[in-house]
Structure 1
Amino acid sequence: MPASALRTLYSLLFYLFTPLVIIRLLWRGYRTPAYLHRWGERFGLAPFLAGKAVIWVHAVSVGEVQASVPLVRALLDRYPDHTLLLTTLTPTGSAQVQRQLGAQVAHCYLPYDLPDAIARFLQRVQPQFGVILETELWPNLLHQCQCRKIPIILANARLSERSALGYCRLGMLTRDMLSKLTFIAAQGKADANRFIALGAPPERVQVTGNLKFELKLPSHLPTQGMILRRQWGEQRPLWIAASTHEGEEEQVLAAFKQVQKRYPTALLVLVPRHSQRFNRVHHLCQRQGFITQRRSEQQACAPATEIFIGDSMGELPLFFAASDVAFLGGSLVPVGGHNPLEPAALKRPVILGPHIFNFMGISHQLLEAGAATQIQTIQDLTQAVLRYLDDPQLRTKAGKAGQQVIAQNQGASSKIIQQITILLSG
């Protein structure tokens, strides 16, 4: 079937299931009220951005927004006479835009990939060019951008084996989408090869590195971390389980019980990935008999507290800075893991579970450098935490190795800006 027919079928199915999309928004809004607002943007009613040429950057959610910041700032420096519009799909991504960039950029939600919604969005925004982060490939969006002669760059592009298999099943539709991209800036060689194998023109694909290595943490963060550590208990062994998912907290708590046998005064900082799970995780800790305190209580951490739940937004880097060892969630269950670079940048040894396919390249570099340890079981997690808590020199060595890995992999944003400059001058 031709790509145009597949795209038409896809659009008809999307329209057919739009009522279910709205029901899902209502359901998510019940748990996260921010989903109940700004629906017009989700159907193309973006703000009019009159007066200046518009550069459009799309980042799905929190992680992609965080990765986009160095590139966005480089674009603001290079094109000061332009308005930069940063779109996201999630309210948490929107909040991250406000925290990281504030009034420096305009923001709205990217509309659903319905032909009329995309047309309204592009008519209102009229971007000079667009930069889409990672692997956000939408048939109608890319088709209408091509029809309007809007160049689209896929930046920080990654494609795991699992994702490549999924796109391969779409056949002509995937090849058609890839052919509409002006340039693909791949994170690594394996990503580039997978895009080419799926049909991307080889001359449009280049390895530029991973933007996530260009994170710039606030210079005051280590000092703030030391202050918080004194509040928690300077002499207490302290480890953090960050961005945990359903099914992981039970395993982390089992490991913590074993850690306590050697370090009775140890403190576990437990930070669930999603805010709607804060209460559930708090009750789980209490049911298991742990003396538990929450960040939202705004009280000093009592010496008897065993678990401190980080139920606030935007403070995870601070919690990393105050901890001795960091375990990254989403890796004991098949979520694929989360970005390990923040704790590495703060010189914290990182522990990863078996499921790290979302950050395979970064994780392997940290593992090979000795900046991280990968575990398979609860027993492995216990032993890894104890090994780092037992040996301050090992922690220092791992922390320095992590910083070195980050320093060696920076420069992706300048390579992408170079390609954008060539594109606009061509």
Structure 2
Amino acid sequence: MARRVPLSLARALYSVLAWAAQPLLRRKLRRRALAEPGYGLAVAERFGHYTPADLGQDGRGQWIWIHSVSLGETRAAAILIRALREILPGMRLLLTHSTATGREEGARLLEGAGGKADLQVWLPWDTLAATRSFIAQFRPAVGVLMETEIWPNLIAGCANAGIPLALANARLNEKSEAGALRMAPIARPAYGALAAVWAQTEDDARRLRHVGAQVDAVLGNLKFDVRPDEAQLARAAGWRPKLAKPVVLLASSREGEEALLLERLKVLGAAAHAVQWLIVPRHPQRFDVVAQLIAEAGFTLSRRSAWGDALAEPQADIWLGDSLGEMPLYYGLAAAALMGGSFEPLGGQNLIEALACATPVVLGPHTFNFSQASEQAVQAGAALRSADMAAAVQDAMALVQDGPRLAAAQARAGEFMQQHRGAARATAQAIVALMR
């Protein structure tokens, strides 16, 4: 269990800076809300003010609190929550987020679960006052931070209040490790005050220990236990016979990657039209930007938002997946996927969701966010590694036009996923044990 954490000089200075930054945070939220209205929702919660005054009071001492900062973490949290409900059917869930996409995904998760006793709020800014208010308001039975989230005052406050707080599905890449070591007077006590840390891989565990965490176990990656939306996969299966050519998806693309793809397609000319290209940007605020890039590159465009419920195979050089929560549909349509975030030095996005839909993946050179899963998938034949975007386009086109090779890669994707399942159940059991 976590020990009591005194207010050190380093954390006191950090707390002063966090307090002083509040006006800047308010201004940032106002600006972000112009593009993403979710950032303008319940702003007072960000500063520890929860209304009505008794919000959450009747759940004190009962909440199982899970913090998932953004979209990817919320999807991982959904897998863990499902496993927790199997063990604790009557549990009361408190779900917190830091980004608008995370909160929107969380709202869909709670609506689908139908848990009327569940609650969703923003995680407060990490000032002493706001975190104390949050802890006093909800007093959870146990807290779980997903993957990488470390907030010194929040962690210290939970430790001092006797609330066990764990870091689940924990990962730490080399860049983040270096950053934590630079901030050691703040980071090391925060990691050390966690009641439990459950790492994804042995490499993550080694780096976490190096920055001060007491790693209790290596339980694997929750995302291997993902269950893609069956309705979306069924819709994709119904649409596929209408396709005149195989679909290659650039999935969860980040800034700069769409331009790399478009540049390569222009070089290929007519040869690029042997497949149907589909781009799904990682961030919804970039949908219009990417649409403009496609048009300026001289390609015709069809947007998912204009399709409705039936695919009449929109006639366009490139399709744009401008919808939220439909990645299983896009992966189901695609014969292969280029993994976004891996063609710029961003660490790569989650390839596991694609493999769960039996969609082989082509990876760029930058996959440090999912290094072990990426290497294992390549070794298993469920993924390919390409040197850059130009090579990835060629590799993907060759794969989807070779029927036997594509079928083998799809089968290996399914086998790979099956071999790595089990983290969700193990993590849920560890949370229940920690709570008790």
Q: What interval of TM-score do these two structures reach, taking the shorter chain for normalisation?
A: over 0.9
- Are positions 1:119 and 2:132 aligned together? yes
Q: Name the structure 2 match of 1:218.
A: 229
Q: CA deviation at 1:227?
A: 2.1
2:287 to 256, 264, 278: 278
Structure 1 stretch 13-22 or stretch 250-259: which is displaced more? 250-259
SS at 1:240's partner residue? strand
- Separation in 1, partners of 2:165, 2:249: 39
Select which of 243, 266, 285 maps to 1:234: 243
Q: Which residue of 2 aligns with 1:66?
A: 75
Query: 1:23-422 maps to which residues of 2 (within 5 A)?
Result: 23-46=27-50, 48-52=55-59, 53-102=62-111, 103-104=114-115, 105-201=118-214, 204-230=215-241, 233-257=242-266, 261-262=270-271, 264-298=273-307, 304-422=315-433
Does the aligned pair in 2 maintain the 1:259–1:382 contact within 8 Å? Answer: no
Conserved? CA contact 1:186–1:209, under 8 Å: yes
Q: Does 1:6 align with 2:15?
A: no
For residues 56 and 130 of structure 1, the distance between their equivalents in structure 2, rounded to whole angstroms, comes to 5
**1:58 partner letter:** H
- Deviation of the 1:352 alpha carbon: 1.2
Mapped partners of 1:281, 1:256: distance in 2? 15
Checking the alignment, whether the CA contact within 8 Å between 2:265 and 2:272 is kept in structure 1 is no
- Does the 8 Å contact 1:130/1:152 carry over to 2? yes
Q: Percent identity?
A: 35
How many Å separate the matches in 2 of 1:81 and 1:226? 36
For 1:304 and 1:80, the matched residues in 2 are separated by: 48
TM superposition shift of 1:221: 3.5
Which residue identity lines up with residue 160 of structure 2 in the other structure?
A: C
Q: What residue identity is the alignment partner of 2:136?
A: Q
Equivalent-residue separation in structure 2 for 1:39 and 1:388 (angstroms): 48
How far 1:348 moved relative to its partner?
1.2
Change over 3 Å in CA distance of 1:63–1:116 after alignment to 2: same
* Residues 405-414 or 181-190, more deviating: 405-414
Moved more, 95-104 or 136-145: 95-104
Distance 1:175 1:387 in 2: 48
Please give the alpha-carbon distance, in whole angstroms, between the structure 2 residues aligned to 1:49 and 1:80.
19
Query: Contact 2:243 / 2:313 at 8 angstroms: preserved in 1?
Result: no
Once residues 4 and 343 of structure 1 are traced to their aligned partners in structure 2, the CA distance between those partners, rounded to angstroms, is: 45
Which amino acid in 2 is paired with 1:381?
Answer: A
How many Å apart are 1:89 and its aligned residue? 0.7
- SS of 2:337's equivalent? strand
Query: Which ranges of structure 1 fall in alignment gaps of 5 or more residues?
Result: none
Q: Secondary structure at the match of 2:141?
A: strand
Deviation at 1:290, TM superposition (A): 0.9
Does the Cα contact within 8 Å between 1:255 and 1:381 map onto a contact in 2?
A: no
Q: Distance in 2 between matches of 1:254 and 1:162?
A: 30
Post-superposition Cα deviations, 1:82-134, rounded to whole Å, max 9, x if no partner, equal 31101111111111112233242321110110111111111111101101111
Tell me the secondary structure at the aligned position of residue 184 of structure 1: strand
| Structure 1 residue 76, shift from structure 2 partner | 2.4
2:130 aligned counterpart, secondary structure: helix
Q: 1:285 to 1:421 in 2, by over 3 A?
A: closer
Change (3 A) 1:355 1:277: same
* TM-score relative to the length of structure 2: 0.91
From 14, 23, 28, the equivalent of 1:19 is 23
Normalised to the residue count of structure 1, the TM-score between the two structures is: 0.93
Deviates more, 1:98-107 or 1:407-416: 98-107
> Can you give the 5+ residue segments of structure 2 that lack an aligned partner in the other structure?
1-5
Closer, same or farther: CA 257–173 of 1 in aligned 2, 3 Å: same
Q: Deviation of residue 205 (structure 1)? A: 2.3
SS in 2 for 1:155: strand
Secondary structure, counterpart of 1:159 in structure 2: coil
Using the alignment, how far apart are the partners of 1:216 and 1:304 within structure 2?
31
**Separation (CA, whole Å) in 1 of partners of 2:226 and 2:303:** 28
Shift of 1:264: 3.1
